[in-house]
Amino acid sequence: MAGSLDTDSSFWSSLERRVHAEWLALTLFTLLVTILLSLYSEQTSIARTDHTFYDSVLRAHPNTDVGEDIVIIAIDDGSIEQLGHWPWRRVIHAQLLERLSEARRVGFDIIFSEPNLAFPHDDALLAQAIARHGRVVLPTMVIEDPAGGSRLQSPLTALAVAATSMGYINVYPDSDGTVRSLTLLRETASGPPWEHFSIAMLGRPVSPTVRPEEKLLIPYAGPAGHFTFYSYAAVLRGDVPAAHFRDRLVLVGAWGSGLGDTFPTPMTRHGEAMSGVEILANGLHALDKDNWIRTLPPWLCALLSGLPVLLACLAFRRFSPRHSFLATLAIIVAWTALAITLLTAFKLWLPITASLIGIALAFPLWSWRSQEASLQHIDRELHSLQQATAWEPAGQHGGTTVYDRSLPARVKLLHQAIARFRHAQQKREETLRFLSHDMRAPQNAILALIEMQRREPEASDDQEVLTRIERRATDTLELMDGFVQLERAEVVSLGQHPIELGSLLLEACDACWEMAQRRHITLLTDDLPEEAWVEGDHKLLSRVLRNLLDNALKYSPDHTTVRCGISRAGDNWHLTIEDQGRGIPPEQIDRIFDPFIRVDADTPGNSGGAGLGLAFVRTTVQRHRGTISAHSLEGRGSVFTISLPALAE
């Protein structure tokens, strides 16, 4: 028992180490993949999935608190129809500024980098109007050089001098062409960084927490049209009172459908784009309220992306497959809910696609590796069992595997091993019964005879006592021999050699000839085929035939006949042994091949035995992939038929 417990402990300890190593390797691998996907998301297609998720959440939870501080004067289609084709004379913009005298600041989303050659005096008039207003912001453009550098394109010198401040108006769409962010500071090769147009509009320094080249996600107020709009022509005509612009930030920019200054945004639902001036308005509002949606540093995003993958791997290690699956779903839902909460409540964007891919990768990999590790370990143990006990699973013959390596096949093999262990447990109980009862009975009888002879030497003749002791000792040896032969038939490795059944039967008849002669019993062999080849263990099959012949002779009256024959039926050879004994009762015929079962054991004159001979016969025949059956009529004899596969020619 102690050895069995030590073996079980060693088995599970070894399996635990293997599974733990597989889990550790899987965890490290999936964490590494997740971190790399997060770090290089922009270079892969998973960024598009993150963008889709981000846009969906932002559309569902727009920043509706836009206030009334920002006003847009739109150069719309109606204004172009009234004032003429674009671009207009710059004196018109000078006239507009006269209407906006009470605005806190006026920003033009219009580039004035080239002189108006058709109306050369208009530039000076616009410069004078800008100077008189005193709170006008003009745009610049960052031009990327093909060589990799960049330069700043400024307005005409006269206009730049008259302007209160300037800032670049560039927007940088993501890889899918959607504008989600603004960069407030652009690094330069020398000198201070260039500032965005929004900083110039507010007229105050940017927060020190804003890093150069940092992309700040815009909390859009909603689809196009969420800010207060006035038509350029209506303002110019004076239809809008000047008081409407008092202390407000006024942006002047293109809104017309043909001007081309439009971009897709997260708020785009059905292909509609948002004008560049409204994107600036959203960015200006975010800067004024300091409610940008910020993204964590890439290294921190990568580390956080690995957290749900680690949690899923821990669940795999501790839970059953069903509970692991449910835990994985819970982690995915919780991580998605956390990302939505961070975005909507805390203005913090945490990409989740890398995490979801990591979890989706970890689950099937763990199912594969844990299952494979367990099955391989069980395969090794089953192989060790097969080597130690000469056990041949169903589906194997002669060491050749004929079953597949699929999971059902391996589970079937495991069930066979379990059945084998159950059979071993049954055999253990039979052995204990054999040792405690069958083996002890003759030994106790011997001890009783010795004790009786010792107490009353004159009561029995010494020769008689020795005869009785000899009989009991012989019974014990026969029991041991039968038991050993049965065990050998069950566990010994079979020798697979061609055997000719006719010759084997004749050898068995020769071995039993002397016993038959003493009883005047005739042993007949009917016309035997010239050759009847099978494959098997010569020694075991010879013992089978001698056991059957021995039983036939034991249970047959004197002066009778025992008939043996061999015939072919399909792919099998049938060997029959028929006696003229008293037969077997119908209620017992189904149990005669069970160990320790003897027919009519209490019948006077019945021969002795342990009831192991026929159990040995059945076990050996079955291990040779054959069958044995018995047919009997009480008082008329019995017929035992062995069927063995014929050897392929």
Quick one: angle between helices 407-433 and 353-389, nearest 10? 40
Among candidate residues 254, 259, 252, the one with its CA nearest the CA of residue 126 = 252
Distance CA 462, CA 281 (A): 127
Q: How confident is the model over 279-307, as a mean pLDDT?
A: 93
pLDDT(122) > 90? yes
At 221 the pLDDT is 86
If phi > 0 it is left, if psi is from -120 to 50 it is alpha, else beta; for residue 609 that is: left
Among candidate residues 330, 321, 314, 419, the one with its CA nearest the CA of residue 371 = 321
Tokens representing 479 are 């029991």
476, 443 Cβ separation under 8 angstroms: yes
Q: How confident is the model over 249-266, as a mean pLDDT?
A: 85
Q: How confident is the model over 235-247, as a mean pLDDT?
A: 93
Most confident range, picked from 146-155, 571-580, 591-600: 571-580
Q: How confident is the model over 617-632, as a mean pLDDT?
A: 89
pLDDT(65) > 60? yes
Q: Tell me: the pLDDT tens digits for 480-489?
A: 666 666 666 5
pLDDT(527) > 80? no
pLDDT(231) > 60? yes
User: Which band of pLDDT confidence, cut at 50, 70 and 90, is reported for residue 538?
Assistant: confident
User: Which band of pLDDT confidence, cut at 50, 70 and 90, is reported for residue 5?
Assistant: very low
If phi > 0 it is left, if psi is from -120 to 50 it is alpha, else beta; for residue 603 that is: beta
User: Which band of pLDDT confidence, cut at 50, 70 and 90, is reported for residue 70?
Assistant: very high
Torsion angle (degrees, nearest 10) of CA 365, 366, 371, 373? 90
Quick one: angle between helices 538-554 and 613-623, nearest 10? 150
Altogether, the residues listed in the chain come to a count of 649
At 394 the pLDDT is 61
User: Which band of pLDDT confidence, cut at 50, 70 and 90, is reported for residue 38?
Assistant: very high
Range from 81-85, 291-295, 594-598, 635-639 carrying the lowest mean pLDDT: 594-598
At 345 the pLDDT is 92
User: Which band of pLDDT confidence, cut at 50, 70 and 90, is reported for residue 362?
Assistant: very high
At 464 the pLDDT is 72
* Chain centroid, CA 358 distance in Å: 12
User: Which band of pLDDT confidence, cut at 50, 70 and 90, is reported for residue 413?
Assistant: confident
Angle in degrees, CA 595, 598, 603, rounded to 5 = 165
Q: How confident is the model over 380-393, as a mean pLDDT?
A: 66
Strand partners, 228: 71
pLDDT(401) > 60? no
Angle in degrees, CA 58, 64, 69, rounded to 5 = 130
Q: Does an H or E element contain 237, and which? A: helix 232-237
Q: How confident is the model over 405-411, as a mean pLDDT?
A: 68
Q: Does an H or E element contain 427, and which? A: helix 407-433
At 487 the pLDDT is 62
Mention every residue, 6+ apart, whose C-beta is less than 8 A from residue 635. 582, 583
User: Which band of pLDDT confidence, cut at 50, 70 and 90, is reported for residue 3?
Assistant: very low
Q: How confident is the model over 107-116, as a mean pLDDT?
A: 91
At 399 the pLDDT is 45
615 or 258, greater pLDDT: 615
pLDDT(159) > 80? yes
pLDDT(649) > 70? no
pLDDT(530) > 70? yes
DSSP annotation of 596 reads T
623 or 356, greater pLDDT: 356
At 392 the pLDDT is 61
Q: Tell me: the pLDDT tens digits for 167-219?
A: 999 999 998 889 999 999 998 877 889 999 999 999 988 888 888 889 999 99
Q: Tell me: the pLDDT tens digits for 540-554?
A: 889 889 889 988 988
At 310 the pLDDT is 96
Look over the chain and give the mean of its residue pLDDT values, rounded to a whole number. Answer: 84
Q: 3-class DSSP state for residue 589?
A: helix
At 277 the pLDDT is 94
64, 219 Cβ separation under 8 angstroms: no
pLDDT(262) > 90? no
607 or 578, greater pLDDT: 578
Distance CA 399, CA 393 (A): 10
Tokens representing 108 are 């033009």
- Cβ count near 151 (within 10 Å): 12
DSSP 347-411: -EE---HHHHHHHHHHHHHHHHHHHHHHHHHHHHHHHHHHHHHT---TTEETTEE-S--SHHHHH
249 exposure class (CB count in 10 Å sphere: 0-12, 13-18, 19+)? buried
At 389 the pLDDT is 59
At 645 the pLDDT is 92
- Cβ count near 309 (within 10 Å): 27
Percent of the chain residues past pLDDT 70, beyond the cut: 83
At 460 the pLDDT is 65
Q: Tell me: the pLDDT tens digits for 388-398?
A: 655 566 655 44
At 1 the pLDDT is 45
- Cβ count near 66 (within 10 Å): 19
Among candidate residues 138, 133, 130, the one with its CA nearest the CA of residue 113 = 138
pLDDT(323) > 50? yes
Q: Tell me: the pLDDT tens digits for 437-479?
A: 566 666 677 777 777 777 777 666 667 767 777 776 766 666 6
At 583 the pLDDT is 86
Q: How confident is the model over 516-541, as a mean pLDDT?
A: 88
643, 530 Cβ separation under 8 angstroms: no
User: Which band of pLDDT confidence, cut at 50, 70 and 90, is reported for residue 402?
Assistant: very low
Strand partners, 335: none
Distance CA 642, CA 640 (A): 7
pLDDT(161) > 50? yes
Establish how many alpha carbons lie within 13 A of residue 600's alpha carbon, considering only the half-sphere containing its beta carbon.
Answer: 12
